[in-house]
Structure 1
Amino acid sequence: MYRDKKISVVVPAYKEELLIKETLKSIPDYVDRVYVVNDCSPDRTGEIIAEFAKHDDRVVPLTHEVNKGPGAAIVTGYNRAIIENIDLVATMDGDNQMDPAFLPELLDPIIDGKCDLTMGNRLINAKSRKGMSKWRLFGNSILTFLTKIASGYWQMMDPQNGYTVISARALRTIDVDSIYPRYGYLNDRLVKLNISGFKVRNVPHPSRYNNETSGIRYRSYITKVSWLLLKDFLFRLRTKYIIQSFHPLVFFYFFGTMLSALGILMALITIWEKFIAGYNVLFVHGVLSFITFMLGMMFLLFAMLYDMEQERNTNGWY
């Protein structure tokens, strides 16, 4: 136990035969349960997990008969932790990227009652980002911004970081089984936590890369997760600001989106009129399209400002 709390670690594993043993060996002694979820790996990952479990009774091997994705693996571990009445549940990838020395820094804020989810943050400075490729950092930055908008956690950083700890209270409140099963589950989980009003905290830690090959292909990944975040954003607005309680920021978002899109459309029509149809209306129509677009952007910025204010007043940020 750690500070009189039962701690578990969920380790999703898919094709991790090279690093899964090192990952399991590094988990601290104060962790009570280690739920290792073999997501139908075609290599020796499952065998290595089963062999390791013979020598460490904390390790609970869990297996998916078909590949379901890292999010589904996390959900499998979460559900087992709920059944066994675990107080805090950490997640650590099976590629040995997460340094267990920083686990207490993720556990302490939740035990002290300051938040219900802690997230590792590798983006706080250049030293922490050391080893992360520029392309990976660029993709991570885009998804961080989009996740801020979708989740309403505007102070959040590094949402793609799988090194997290969540409280049992939060797990029992949100609909765990509805968490997105593939990559993108981290972003989806934040939206669910925001709707329920849980506090979240960033915990800085350095990145650590070994010999693993990332399963993420950022071109397709950003596209898929962006679509997921759009749906999550609309779901959050409807649930939090219409169903649970009403807030006018939904109108600001709506009119801002409509006016911005209309301004862009008007600008395209103006260009067509000038250079294709030969109409001499560039100045008048150009000014009208610019004013419409800027009005839409103003509405959007006010909507974001109201959303940030709601974060400070309700969810808060520690």
Structure 2
Amino acid sequence: MLPPGRIAVVIPSYRVTRHILGVIAGIGPEVTRIYVVDDKCPDGSGALVRNSCADPRVRVLEHDENQGVGGAVMTGYRAAIEDGMDVIVKIDGDGQMDPRLIARFVAPILRGEADYSKGNRFFDLEQIRAMPTVRLVGNALLSLMTKLSSGYWDLFDPTNGFTAIHAGVARHLPFNRISRRYFFETDMLFRLNTLHAVVVDVPMDARYGDEVSNLKISKIVTEFLVKHSRNFVKRIFYNYYLRTMSLASIELPVGLALVVVGAVYGIVHWIESARAGVGTPAGTVMLAALPILMGVQLILAFLADDIASVPKRPLHKTAGYERLPCNE
């Protein structure tokens, strides 16, 4: 049995007319409201749902311009918050996500154990074999980048779009600044970390049918690398210098400085020795190696502190947090 709570489901709708009615039909009675967001779908999926779906829980929202999956989800979030929902689940309309798992995603949030839950298709090693190799390798690489940029070192499968969030936390997200396209799921993790929200992975199986994915991992790795680097710098600044100071705030810059100084010193003297045709003295090598080794040690210490600082206390349990106004 789930703890009591009003559950909403948001379904971004773009070129999913073959599957979306089946997805809606599979959503169980535990859900209070279903928001289908037609993101200027050229196939008219919003009209299809409005004309063919008799489920009274369904509300169709339509965009005048395509805003991407992130924009569609933000529209659904706003509607769910306005309607007084407690937990908001996001699933895709292409049939890759099993609606029967909704209860599994909302349970840790309703029990007060997490603020946000997301799917993890890598939990069952046997199920991983069903995942295409390119997608498997791409997700592994993206997961590593996400750990660095978001600060959630215990999470995997960052592009998984099966998620649930407490409405009291969702209202504090900067809706107008979250990435609108394929970087949406990973940018959400970065934004949640800046709020110190608790995020958990929910094991799920990978499902692949006749749906066509618009996400080509091989084409977005470079773009994602740039955006992850930007978010990493912003997260470090926000969490270690703007909001608070700790030993980790000293370890990172000192460690980086020592590595740079040691590397520059070593390279300069190696070039001078090469030009002179003589071997580099052992003392010079040690003077170059020592700061590099010390710097690496400090950087590793910073990473250990960063891993240990993953949020553990659910944000929505903070007294009075839910009553603050929605952050646009």
TM-score surpassing 0.5?
A: yes
In structure 2, the residue matched to 1:102 is 101
The whole-number CA distance in structure 2 between the counterparts of 1:150 and 1:66 is 30
The whole-number CA distance in structure 2 between the counterparts of 1:189 and 1:308 is 19
Taking a change above 3 Å as real, the CA distance of residues 96 and 245 of structure 1, as seen in their structure-2 partners, is: same
The whole-number CA distance in structure 2 between the counterparts of 1:228 and 1:256 is 24
The Cα of 1:168 is off from its aligned counterpart by: 1.2
The Cα of 1:162 is off from its aligned counterpart by: 0.7
- List alignment gaps of at least 5 residues for structure 1: none
The Cα of 1:281 is off from its aligned counterpart by: 4.7
The Cα of 1:74 is off from its aligned counterpart by: 0.8
AA partner of residue 304 (structure 1): L
In structure 2, the residue matched to 1:20 is 20
Taking a change above 3 Å as real, the CA distance of residues 283 and 7 of structure 1, as seen in their structure-2 partners, is: farther
* Residue range with higher mean Cα deviation, 108-117 or 184-193: 184-193
The whole-number CA distance in structure 1 between the counterparts of 2:173 and 2:189 is 10
What SS does structure 2 have at the residue aligned with 1:119?
A: strand
The whole-number CA distance in structure 1 between the counterparts of 2:184 and 2:12 is 12
The Cα of 1:123 is off from its aligned counterpart by: 0.7
* Residue range with higher mean Cα deviation, 6-15 or 189-198: 189-198
* Residue range with higher mean Cα deviation, 80-89 or 93-102: 93-102
The Cα of 1:111 is off from its aligned counterpart by: 0.8
Where do 1:231-242 residues align within 5 Å? Answer: 231-242=230-241
State the Cα deviation string for residues 217-266 of structure 1 (Å, max 9, x = none): 21331222222222222222222222221123233333444555666677
AA partner of residue 41 (structure 1): C
The whole-number CA distance in structure 2 between the counterparts of 1:154 and 1:107 is 22
Taking a change above 3 Å as real, the CA distance of residues 309 and 57 of structure 1, as seen in their structure-2 partners, is: same
- List alignment gaps of at least 5 residues for structure 2: 316-328
Taking a change above 3 Å as real, the CA distance of residues 286 and 99 of structure 1, as seen in their structure-2 partners, is: farther
AA partner of residue 209 (structure 1): Y
In structure 2, the residue matched to 1:39 is 39
The whole-number CA distance in structure 2 between the counterparts of 1:16 and 1:212 is 8
The Cα of 1:280 is off from its aligned counterpart by: 4.3
Task: Please say if 1:308 is aligned against 2:307.
Answer: yes
The whole-number CA distance in structure 2 between the counterparts of 1:273 and 1:19 is 68
Where do 1:154-303 residues align within 5 Å? Answer: 154-260=153-259, 279-281=277-279, 293-303=292-302
Task: Please say if 1:77 is aligned against 2:76.
Answer: yes
Taking a change above 3 Å as real, the CA distance of residues 281 and 74 of structure 1, as seen in their structure-2 partners, is: farther
CA contact (8 A) 1:273 1:281 kept: no
CA contact (8 A) 1:106 1:118 kept: yes
In structure 2, the residue matched to 1:126 is 125
CA contact (8 A) 2:193 2:311 kept: no
CA contact (8 A) 2:11 2:36 kept: yes
State the TM-score, normalizing by the size of structure 1. Answer: 0.87
CA contact (8 A) 1:260 1:297 kept: yes
CA contact (8 A) 1:2 1:31 kept: no
The Cα of 1:274 is off from its aligned counterpart by: 8.6
What SS does structure 1 have at the residue aligned with 2:205?
A: coil
What SS does structure 1 have at the residue aligned with 2:201?
A: strand
The Cα of 1:290 is off from its aligned counterpart by: 5.5
